[in-house]
Amino acid sequence: MSSATPGTPETGSGVPADDPSGPIPFRLLPDTADVSPEGHLTIGGCDTVELAAEFGTPLFVYDEAHLRARCAQAVAAFDGGVAYAGKAFLCAAMARLVVAEGMHIDVASIGELETVLRAFGGDSVASRVVMHGNNKSAAETDRARQTRVGRIVVDSFDELDLLDELHRADGRAPRVLLRVTPDVRAETHDYISTGQADSKFGFGIAAGDAEAAVERASEASSVELIGIHCHIGSQVFRVESLAQALGVVARFAAEAFEGHSQQLRELSIGGGLGVAYVESETAPSISEWGNALTEQWQKLCGQYGLTARLTAEPGRAIAAGAAVTLYTVGARKEVPGVRTYAAVDGGYGDNPRPMLYGSDYTAFAPARVKDPRPDRVRLVGKHCESGDVIVRSAPVPAGLAAGDLVATPVTGAYGYSMGAPYNRIGRPAVVFVADGTAQLVIRRETVDDMLALDIG
């Protein structure tokens, strides 16, 4: 079973860590990354320097081929039983792409649900939607029921009460999974660890709530209980942690469903597979992750007499490595004996992860992609926060100056989707690139967009 830990020099395949002062390693760049005769980074056959000139900066550039390849790996690993976690990055174009590649989509709000539905012009795709949320409103829950989403993941007894109430009005009984917490802590940041007993998510197995929820849902006419859902956290590098959770939940499910007329048909292990963000990190591939878990599941099914299907919900592993963010340096500040700052035209508003989690990234100059990066700068944004730091110690080519382009790779997940127009600085545009063509899929947010919400 392959695994890798952040900061270690090797993956299961024995790939060494890269020199952080050398050129940007292409393993951190999208699949189609290449170098033009001018020395510029190209993605999807498009020159990133030209993209910055055409669409402005900051700019998210997604490699469509990379996205499709990761979707294909996930679909193959889980035999089609896989949903893309829309929270990582979602827009109409992304929804259409992942569905075209055979994936379902998990959503966690009515906004994400409507994005998916409108991408297809109606409810025709609803059967491929998995509806999440630890505090779904009555409106969100009923919208999911009325559009006949494929699964609703139930998170609490109050949600079962709500489904009972809605059922009395129309008799509709959606298919549901019960989210359980296995008391397995992932090796990740506390903010994105969700499988421990002390969690806002799901029914605790150790506390007995999960067993009680199975008992209640099995007897209820308001839902059709088809399975169990489990998610232990995000940015998890060790497949063993996920396999451990799978074992706990398999044992629980075998016992909890015994004697009930409704049988366990599906067990979702969620997502959470980590990705490498910097030169020192490596991570299992989607195929390694999926194959290890499906192999473990087959053994558990034999051990416990289960016949349920194993499903999963990767998001970060699909989207993160597919994108780079392009910025323009606006100011450079030398603090003698301390550090050099390079301020760019984005920051917290397009990538809050460093500020929220202390997440690390690396950097490079897309106009000099093959150059070594001997200099170190603190890459900072333009928002009014000292914590608005994109890369604490960014390796850059010698002489990076105001007006130069600088880029951060592996920004395709939880950048745009978590961004906000702080200081009323609009969110960036997003382009998908493929076969030498750039498609604008999200336009730049303008001051007029923000002013349109003001009243009076």
**Closest by alpha carbon to 70, among 89, 57, 55?**
89
Torsions phi, psi for 259 (to 5 deg): 90, -5
Q: Which domains are delineated in the chain?
A: 31-61+320-447 (2.40.37.10), 64-319 (3.20.20.10)
**Closest by alpha carbon to 180, among 168, 170, 194, 192?**
194
Rounded Cα gap, residues 344 and 156, in angstroms: 44
Q: State pLDDT tens for residues 182-237.
A: 876 544 434 333 444 567 778 988 889 999 999 999 999 999 999 999 887 667 77
What is the per-residue pLDDT for 188?
A: 41
Confidence of residue 75 (pLDDT cuts 50, 70, 90): very high
Amino acid at 249: V
Mean per-residue pLDDT, 165-179: 97
Structure tokens that stand for 42 in this block: 């190209």
Rounded Cα gap, residues 366 and 327, in angstroms: 10
R_g (Cα) of the chain, nearest Å: 23
Confidence of residue 388 (pLDDT cuts 50, 70, 90): very high
Strand segments, DSSP code E, in 109-220 are 129-131, 151-154, 175-181, 203-204
Q: State pLDDT tens for residues 287-311.
A: 999 998 999 999 999 999 999 999 9
For residue 15, is pLDDT > 60?
no
For residue 332, is pLDDT > 60?
yes
What is the percentage of the chain residues whose pLDDT exceeds 70?
91
Catalytic sites, residue numbers: 384
Rounded Cα gap, residues 257 and 286, in angstroms: 30
Rounded Cα gap, residues 2 and 240, in angstroms: 8
3-state secondary structure of 304: helix
Q: State pLDDT tens for residues 413-454.
A: 999 999 999 999 999 999 999 999 999 999 999 999 999 999
Torsions phi, psi for 434 (to 5 deg): -165, 135
**Closest by alpha carbon to 410, among 66, 92, 93?**
66
Q: Which residues contact 2 (CB under 8 A, 6 or more apart)?
A: 11, 12, 13, 239, 284, 288, 289, 292
What is the per-residue pLDDT for 184?
A: 61
Peptide bond into 58 cis (omega under 30): yes
Rounded Cα gap, residues 439 and 453, in angstroms: 28
Q: State pLDDT tens for residues 108-125.
A: 999 999 999 999 999 999
Rounded Cα gap, residues 380 and 331, in angstroms: 10
Q: State pLDDT tens for residues 241-276.
A: 777 778 888 888 898 988 665 789 999 999 888 899
What is the per-residue pLDDT for 74?
A: 97
For residue 5, is pLDDT > 80?
no
